[in-house]
Chains A and B, each alone.
Chain A
Amino acid sequence: AVRPLRRRQPKKTNELPQANRLPGIFDDVHGSHGRQVCRRHELYVSFQDLGWLDWVIAPQGYSAYYCEGECSFPLGSCMNATNHAILQSLVHLMKPDAVPKACCAPTKLSATSVLYYDNSNNVILRKHRNMVVKACGCH
């Protein structure tokens, strides 16, 4: 009897998924077993809405991120987008079948700057480097 060809397993690589790669025919967007891959969403919070504009001079608002889908480390106040993407990608590499692929692996981290008044009305400009994921895999 003709032996069925064995399907070769894709070679495991340690590279983070490329940012500009959109899901293709080999990628199971819904993850294995029909689960939905994590997908990042952006929620813009206006500082005017929070009543912070007499305190924070710039920026005008902040994009908070949240995600929907099967995430082992969902975004939240103690998990920002950068950490979420890194952890999710690492665990997916270790258990590709159990943990869905991260949709927002960091490819470019940028600084965040804020200008605000302190208690004595001095004006402070503070810059945090390598803070915010600006480009991610699902865009």
Chain B
Amino acid sequence: GGPGLRPPPGCPQRCLGASERRDVQREILSVLGLPGRPRLRAAPSGPRLPASAPLFMLDLYHAMTGDDDKDDAPAERRLGRADLVMSFVNMVERDHALGQQEPHWKEFRFDLTQIPDGEAVTAAEFRIYKVPSIHLLNRTLHVSMFQVVQEQSNRESDLLFLDLQTLQAGDEVWLVLDVTAASDRWLLKRHKDLGLRLYVETEDGHSVDPGLAGLLGQRAPRSRQPFVVTFFRASPSPIRTPR
């Protein structure tokens, strides 16, 4: 087999007949809750570096399975009692920067159509990688995140404030922005893309191009591309009551 688990010694290895093979596959699909084999796009021609979302989710998987046998072990904070975690990578990115008038912003649109029914969002994060900025030395930056609630043709879009993080221009880090507040809307309108807009300002309020501040977008290496990760818990009423 592959590099993974080895069958325990003494475990009899039988050659499965065709019908047994189908039975075992059916059992595996039902026990693991796998929805069946997706139609993945053509396999990559050569070996590809793993992308950021699968790398992050594999860490979560190890944290989650590490707790499988210890029911009372403290799960990693974000996992909490989540029994489903999804990362969204299908994204369209728009820049409102590079010389145009202020404020500069970067916008990301995620396709949320794959969210399963009957799941309640417990937490949602937008993760973007930041490299040290070579343009802004020793400056403190405020990174704020908004949800694009409604686009307007003749004026600025309707925005909903989600989160604000402060960091140094020289920091190199995965920046995690809490977008849980946006989850009510996307469950009601999952046919609409989730629009997230990101602004960067210096301490004295000047708008900065997010790219110049070191925030990487879709053109980053695969292992550092931005993504949204959402934690769900099965609930009879998937919509959180508005506060």
**Residues of A near any B CB (own CB < 8 A):** 41-50, 52-62, 64, 76-77, 80, 108, 110-129, 131-132, 134
Contacts and interface: CB of A to CB of B under 8 A. Distances in A.
B114 to A, nearest CB: 5
Contacts of A45: 16, 24, 28
Interface in B110-148: 111, 113-114
A54 B35 CA distance: 15
Main secondary structure of the interface of A (DSSP, over half): strand
29 contacts: A41-B12, A43-B11, A43-B13, A44-B7, A44-B11, A44-B13, A46-B1, A47-B2, A48-B2, A57-B54, A60-B1, A62-B32, A80-B31, A110-B69, A111-B64, A113-B61, A114-B32, A115-B54, A115-B61, A117-B40, A118-B35, A120-B90, A120-B111, A122-B53, A122-B86, A122-B89, A125-B84, A127-B83, A128-B32
A57 B7 contact: no
Given A42-B11, A110-B68, A127 B84 contact: yes
Contact of A123 (B4, B32, B37, B89): B89
B168 to A, nearest CB: 31
Contacts of B5: 44, 59-61
Interface in B62-111: 62, 64-65, 67-69, 71, 82-90, 111
Given A61-B4, A120-B111, A113 B64 contact: yes
Contacts of A61: 1-2, 4-5
Contact of B39 (A43, A47, A115, A119): A119
B232 to A, nearest CB: 9
Contact of A121 (B25, B26, B41, B67): B41
Contacts of B89: 121-123
Nearest to A135: B69
